[in-house]
């Protein structure tokens, strides 16, 4: 496992973004873990978060793209922080772009925040986590309606590795099949378990045998089909 991935897992725990226990998800599933990117609230946290995303994008897609698009609302600070980190880490200038939930009809009109989109722009979409792929169903038409852009891929922070709503494949795999662009994550839940299972971090074992059994049972019920 790359060192930045292990550091990112510990960073999620430190920031109380990744929690373990008993949670009811929006989908109605009962889950022994929960990730809430809204818990990144300080300047230092957002700066580090942007750096982790930048490294993952560099590893997955390289830097041959023009725009980083963050869907409203959580994607807006992610896009801003990561474009700054890409500039600082790699000396590459990319533009940030996000959408509004409502079209603005005065001043800076339109549905977009940040950079406008141009024909030929190569776009990477950035999100916190994708469980069902519903947000991409909303985002994809917005991007395509603004300009003739090429979507290079989607990057999320955590791949939950559970099946989507329409098949036994993961939501990220469903998106890749449906829309024809690559998908990736900074870390997978499998990597989280590998890093934390019976491994004390700052004096605490976050995934002990009991929680590991609960996670295993969750994936027996909701886990995505393993893919080659």
Query: Torsion-angle region of residue 193: left (phi > 0), alpha (psi -120 to 50) or beta?
Result: alpha
Q: Could you give the C-alpha distances from 206 to 4, 6, 194, in angstroms and in order? A: 19, 14, 12
Q: Which of 26, 101, 106, 226 is catalytic?
A: 106
For the question of residue 104 being annotated catalytic, the response is: yes
Q: Which of 104, 116, 118, 144 is catalytic?
A: 104
The Cα 214–Cα 163 span in angstroms is: 17
Give catalytic residues, as residue numbers: 104, 106
């Amino acid at each position: 496992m790359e060192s930045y991935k292990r550091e990112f897992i510990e960073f999620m725990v430190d920031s109380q973004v990744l929690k373990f226990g008993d949670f009811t998800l929006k989908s109605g599933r009962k889950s022994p873990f929960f990730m809430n990117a809204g818990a990144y609230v300080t300047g230092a946290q957002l700066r580090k978060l942007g750096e982790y995303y930048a490294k993952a994008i560099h590893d997955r897609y390289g830097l041959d793209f023009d725009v980083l698009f963050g869907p409203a609302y959580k994607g807006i600070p992610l896009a801003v922080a990561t474009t700054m980190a890409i500039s600082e880490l790699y000396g590459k200038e990319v533009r940030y772009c996000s959408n509004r939930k409502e079209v603005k009809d005065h001043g800076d009109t339109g549905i977009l925040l940040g950079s406008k989109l141009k024909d030929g722009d190569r776009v990477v979409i950035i999100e916190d986590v994708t469980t069902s792929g519903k947000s991409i169903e909303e985002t994809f038409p917005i991007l395509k309606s603004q300009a003739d852009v090429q979507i290079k891929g989607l990057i999320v922070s955590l791949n939950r590795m559970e099946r989507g709503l329409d098949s036994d494949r993961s939501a990220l795999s469903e998106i890749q099949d449906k829309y024809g662009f690559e998908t990736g994550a900074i870390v997978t839940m499998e990597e989280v378990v590998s890093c934390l299972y019976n491994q004390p971090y700052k004096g605490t074992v976050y995934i002990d045998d009991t929680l590991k059994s609960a996670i295993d049972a969750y994936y027996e019920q909701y886990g995505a089909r393993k893919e080659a």
